[in-house]
Amino acid sequence: MGEQMTRQNLQISSLLLVGIITFGLPLVLRSPTYLHILILLYLYAYLTSSWNLVGGFAGVLPLGHAAFVGIGAYSSTILYLQYGISPWLGMIVGGILAAIVGIIIGLPTFKMRGAYFALATIAFGEGIRVMVENIDYLGPFNLNGPRGLQIPPRNVGLTNLMFTTKEPYYYIILIMLVAVLALTYFISRSKLGYYLNAGGEEPEAAMSLGVNVARCKLIAMAMSSFLTALAGTFYAQFTLFIHPKSIISLDLSFEIAFIALIGGRGSIAGPVLGALLLRPVSDFSRIYFGATLPGLHLIIFGTVLVLVMIYQPRGLQEPLTRVYHKLLYRLIPEPAGTE
């Protein structure tokens, strides 16, 4: 019992150390370029963790989550530009709209299995992109079609989620990431998490035991859509420019899914591990090969995905977790004579 408590204390200490390092990085890392890369890394880890609520625990493969990013980005941006509403409020409005759309998408598609579900989510996501790209006005709201929307850099400050330096963006997305990881942790150990896992692996058996699988998946879809839309608002305020091909693209949807599959979907650490591996590759390939080899990062993602699916089908988190536990037991071995 004492050794178990010691291991738990060591695990907590290691988490605290990681937290101190991540929160202290901007104090020693002064390069805007590297801070920008870290912000995008945390953003994709957040997006993948949000996707993981439905794509990991519910056992389905949604490939249209960029639509929810777009809903969040366009909602907050339009409300800010046309009505002067703070992006913080627009973020909540966009999240609610995305949750409603997620439920509408989930109602018919959760009846499908395998590739049919994935194809249906692609169709919905692409349908939203095409609509936004070809409509200048949706009622009183100016979407500006394929030209997108530009946010003027005025009224800088926390109220408008707009800053002149990278550090505030770094801490905001880091806090968002910690919050979604904490939520994932509690859901994984809740009744909803157990129902989602059961419904994802053996839906017929779960339903025979009285689990409303469709209802649980819709709840997960609503939460996932809501959280994903929040990232859309953050991205819009971070870049100050959005347009359909960048914010509602299939590339973004695939990238989120690739990160989850490579890192290990259905786990808490998987999305973070996947982002840590793949986002630097993506950013540096765009920096050095973007002009000559556009789309190279997706080829790299696909190659890594094939290798991971062959040798580690449950993602990289599984072997890394084994290594971590071996290290833990080496640091604190079991007393002699125990079994």
Write down the mean pLDDT value for the chain: 88
- The 10 Å Cβ neighbour count of residue 148 is 19
- State the average pLDDT over residues 53-72: 93
Output the CA angle 210-212-213, nearest 5 degrees. Answer: 120
Report the pLDDT value the prediction gives residue 3, as an integer from 0 to 100.
54
d(CA 147, CA 109): 31
Prediction pTM value: 0.91
Report the pLDDT value the prediction gives residue 102, as an integer from 0 to 100.
95
Domain positions in the chain: 2-331
Name the H helices within the chain. 2-28, 32-55, 66-83, 87-109, 115-134, 167-188, 191-201, 203-208, 213-239, 244-247, 250-263, 270-289, 296-311, 317-331
Contact yes or no for 114/121 (Cβ under 8 A): no
- State the average pLDDT over residues 207-232: 93
pLDDT over 90 (residue 74): yes
Report the pLDDT value the prediction gives residue 332, as an integer from 0 to 100.
67
131 versus 335: which is more confidently predicted?
131
70 versus 296: which is more confidently predicted?
70
Phi, psi at 242, each rounded to 5°: -135, 145
pLDDT over 90 (residue 172): yes
- Beta strands 137-138 and 141-142 are antiparallel
Element (H or E) spanning 141, and its range? Answer: strand 141-142
Closest CA to 50 of 177, 174, 161, 170: 177
Predicted confidence band of residue 29 (pLDDT cuts 50, 70, 90): confident
d(CA 247, CA 98): 14
Local structure of 74: helix, strand or coil: helix
pLDDT over 50 (residue 334): yes
- CA of 60: how far to CAs of 53, 123, 201, in Å? 10, 16, 10
- State the average pLDDT over residues 287-313: 76
Cα torsion 168, 169, 170, 172: sign: positive
Q: Which of 137-151, 163-177, 201-215, 245-259 has the lowest mean pLDDT?
A: 201-215
pLDDT over 80 (residue 292): no
Q: Which of 92-106, 122-136, 320-334 has the lowest mean pLDDT?
A: 320-334
Closest CA to 161 of 227, 101, 72: 72
pLDDT over 80 (residue 39): yes
222 versus 18: which is more confidently predicted?
222
Cα torsion 130, 131, 135, 137: sign: negative
d(CA 51, CA 260): 8
pLDDT over 70 (residue 323): yes
Closest CA to 301 of 266, 334, 263, 332: 263
Structure tokens at 27: 């104090």
pLDDT over 50 (residue 339): no
Report the pLDDT value the prediction gives residue 147, as an integer from 0 to 100.
92
pLDDT over 90 (residue 297): no
Local structure of 316: helix, strand or coil: coil
Max Cα distance, the chain (Å): 75
